[in-house]
Amino acid sequence: MEKVYVIGVGMTKVGEHWEKSLRELFVEAGLKAMKDAGVERDDIEAVIVGNMSSGFMQGQEHLGPLMSTYLGLRGVAAAKVESACGSGGIAFHYAFLSIASGLYDCILVGGVEKMTDVATPDVLSALIMADDQEYVASTGITFAGLNALVYREYMKKYGVKQEDIALFSVHDHKYAKNNPYAQFPFEVTLEQVMSSPLVADPIRLLESSPISDGAAALILCNEKKARLLGKEILIEVAGSAVATDILSPYEREDLTTLFATRKAAEKAFKMAKVAPSDINVMEVHDAYSILGPMHLEDLGFAKKGEGIFLVKEGEIEKDGKIPTNMSGGLKARGHPVGATGIYQIAEIVLQLRGEAGENQVSNAEIGLAQSVGGVGSSVAVNILRRVR
Amino acid sequence: MVQSVPRVWREQKYKYRLIGTKCEKCGSIFYPPKKICLKCGSEKMEEVKLPEEGILENYTIIHYPTRDFTYNPPIVVGLIRLTNGVRILAQVVDIDPSEVKEGLQLRAVFRRLREQGEDGVIEYGLKFRPKEE
């Protein structure tokens, strides 16, 4: 297997981009990534686009040739990868494979979502397509509602209070404040979170990731290409794994353990030959506050029911044991669903390069990004390491 | 959702009559119906009628619904443990959302689920309501 390096990152600010289209966002991120990597159009052999819902929200499919056309990359291999809210992280896994296999020397992988083109009820219709249309969406439940069932079960099973779980939103906002790409670069208090309106009981508005537009892109290459480009700092993809679970969470034996996260993490750690204690910085997929502590547990950083202690004891802060969501997470950086997994990896790359500004974790060498589709139905865990 | 008659038509039996599948090998029962057992992997599955009564195990109250349900918030959706132990997801109706609580005894009732826009078909199926004493 060829070694795989991330040599370029490009992001648009996450937010409400009324004046920019799906393709414009992707092209903006793609060109930034190429410039950052120092590669030319001729270097790019393939384009992989992570996206969840362009068919429903823009009436637009076939994003491979759409994006390659607008990037001026006629002729390259190109296709969309879809895995609901995990599209970005899972697209990255397949991009990794395409270099690791030895077939390509240099490719572009990006993620894009443009959610403000449609009204909120239509965004909610798009998001519930992550679960079963016939037997779940037809009950009237929303995606937030599915997570609300998990939330209630978790509080009951482990005797954890909502006030403690909601701290994850406060944490995310604290770090988003210093992230120039974040949708909500300001702090919120626990009181504000707890008094915000109910979205799907018990989940409140400020415990939910927002409706966002955004695109992020990465340039991946092999050893040969990296040497040719003469990179001073080099970030290697040390481990990359994807796992799935039974699609609908209520059909699983336990709502409060995300089996696919455990399985993907186990595989990625093994491949990277590292343990959770080796990770210096991490991005987790906290689409709702409850998922934050659950991911800390299922990724191997805490026992079940104890994820919240890491939050309360400062262990996920910049100077803690496992600095988490230094970007502001899904809650406050924003969650342009199919792009989020690529944002996470871009943010980890900046951390490992020492370019994360005020949120920089000192001397970060190994980072992890977890991207989730549905309620833990598909999960990508990617581990990056600075090798030079 | 895009309008479609066949998509609704082919699920009628399972949705109207609450038909699941049972593994002939290990006895596990699934709803929605499956052709391969999630427990033991057997492909020997038979259709079975599920009981129409159960207990509310967990629930949420939807305040911001999807496009198909904008006519009727708040909507209560529950995880219901049927009397044979199978857990299903269904809307809970004929009760004030503020009175919903875990442990409620429920019974299935045939109701309208959603309409496919102004001129599409109406989808029907089962919802659950409090069981009369």
**Closest approach of B133 to chain A, Cα-based (Å):** 26
Q: Does B115 touch chain A (CB under 8 A)?
A: no
Q: Does B72 touch chain A (CB under 8 A)?
A: yes
Q: Does B114 touch chain A (CB under 8 A)?
A: yes
Domain count for chain B: 1
Answer yes or no: do B60 and A198 touch at CB < 8 A.
no
Does the structural domain A127-210+238-386 have CATH classification 3.40.47.10? yes
Exposure string for A90-107, b = 16+ CB within 10 A, e = fewer: bbbbbbbebbbeeebbbb
Answer yes or no: do B77 and A140 touch at CB < 8 A.
yes
pLDDT at A231: 87
pLDDT-based confidence at B2, cuts 50/70/90?
confident
**Closest approach of A195 to chain B, Cα-based (Å):** 15
Answer yes or no: do A149 and B79 touch at CB < 8 A.
yes
pLDDT at A294: 98
Mutate to test the interface with B, among A135, A162, A248 (most CBs of B within 10 A): A135
Out of B15, B66, B113, the one facing A142 most closely (by C-beta) is B66
CB atoms within 10 A of CB A62: 13
Our measurement of the distance from residue A161's CA atom to the centroid of its chain's CA atoms, rounded to an integer in Å, reads: 26
Answer yes or no: do A144 and B64 touch at CB < 8 A.
yes
d(CA B115, CA B122): 4
Does the structural domain A4-119+211-235 have CATH classification 3.40.47.10? yes
Average pLDDT (B13-23) is 97
Please determine, for residue B132, whether its predicted confidence score (pLDDT) is greater than 90. no
Answer yes or no: do A139 and B90 touch at CB < 8 A.
yes
Predicted confidence (pLDDT) per residue in A287-333, tens digit: 999 999 999 999 999 999 999 999 999 999 999 999 999 999 999 99
Out of A120, A124, A250, the one facing B89 most closely (by C-beta) is A250
Contacts of residue A53 in chain B, CB cutoff 8 Å?
none
Q: Give the length of chain B.
A: 133
Structure tokens of A65? 């040739």
Contacts of residue A199 in chain B, CB cutoff 8 Å?
63-64
pLDDT at A353: 97
User: A-B interface: how many C-beta pairs under 8 angstroms?
Assistant: 97
pLDDT at A232: 83
Average pLDDT (B67-76) is 92
pLDDT at A361: 98
pLDDT at A388: 86
What DSSP element (H or E) covers B105? strand B105-115
Active-site residue flag, A17 = no
- In B1-131, which residue ranges form alpha helices assigned H by DSSP? 6-9, 12-17
How confident is the prediction for chain A on average, in pLDDT?
A: 98
d(CA A150, CA A298): 14
Contacts of residue B61 in chain A, CB cutoff 8 Å?
198, 200-201
8 A C-beta contact, residue A10 and residue A29: yes
Mutate to test the interface with B, among A127, A132, A141, A290 (most CBs of B within 10 A): A141
pLDDT at A318: 98
Beta strands in A179-228 (DSSP E): 198-200, 203-204, 213-221
Active-site residue flag, A85 = yes
- In chain A, which residue ranges form alpha helices assigned H by DSSP? 22-37, 54-57, 63-70, 87-100, 120-128, 143-158, 162-165, 167-176, 190-195, 223-229, 259-272, 291-298, 307-312, 337-353
3-class DSSP state for residue A133?
coil
Answer yes or no: do A149 and B60 touch at CB < 8 A.
yes
Range of the domain at B44: 5-130
pLDDT-based confidence at B77, cuts 50/70/90?
very high
CB atoms within 10 A of CB A378: 23
Predicted confidence (pLDDT) per residue in B20-52, tens digit: 999 999 999 999 999 999 999 999 999 999 999
What string of DSSP letters covers B67-91?
GGGTTS-SEEEEEEEETTS-EEEEE
Contacts of residue A198 in chain B, CB cutoff 8 Å?
61, 63
Residue with tokens 């390659």: A68
Residue A376 gets the label, from left (phi > 0), alpha (psi -120 to 50) or beta, of left
Percent of chain B with pLDDT over 90: 92
To the nearest 10°, report the CA torsion of A114, A118, A120, A123: -60
**Closest approach of B124 to chain A, Cα-based (Å):** 9
Pairing of the two strands A203-204 and A198-200: antiparallel
State the ipTM, two decimals: 0.97
Q: Does A132 touch chain B (CB under 8 A)?
A: yes
8 A C-beta contact, residue A249 and residue A375: yes
CB atoms within 10 A of CB A163: 11
Q: Where in chain A is the domain with CATH 3.40.47.10?
A: 4-119+211-235, 127-210+238-386
Please determine, for residue B91, whether its predicted confidence score (pLDDT) is greater than 80. yes
Ranges of residues in chain A whose predicted pLDDT is under 70: none
Q: Does B101 touch chain A (CB under 8 A)?
A: no
3-class DSSP state for residue A357?
helix
Contacts of residue A338, Cβ cutoff 8 Å, sequence gap at least 6: A50, A51, A52, A53, A82, A85, A87, A88, A91, A111, A112, A113
